[in-house]
Amino acid sequence: MTVLLNDKEHEAPEGTSLAAFIASLGLKQQGIAVAIDYEVVPKSQWADTILSDRLELMLIHAVSGG
């Protein structure tokens, strides 16, 4: 299936969880947030959130500094 992440297409197997998808990209869960349809998904729900074809995700990186 194809998942859109920040308007870029990524392939993922059917039944992939959000947590597995993030891990497959080589990203660490610390310092990021993910929104589906502009609603942030709590990290506690990533493992239970199953992605679907053409789903649009938005990845947000936390930035520190001043």
What digits encode the pLDDT tens for the residues 12-38? Answer: 999 999 999 999 999 888 889 999 988
pLDDT over 70 for what percent of the chain?
A: 97
pTM: 0.89
**CATH for 2-61?**
3.10.20.30
Compute CA 22 distance to the chain's CA centroid, rounded to the nearest angstrom: 5
Q: Where are the domains of the chain?
A: 2-61
Q: How many helices (H) and strands (E) does the chain have?
A: 1, 5
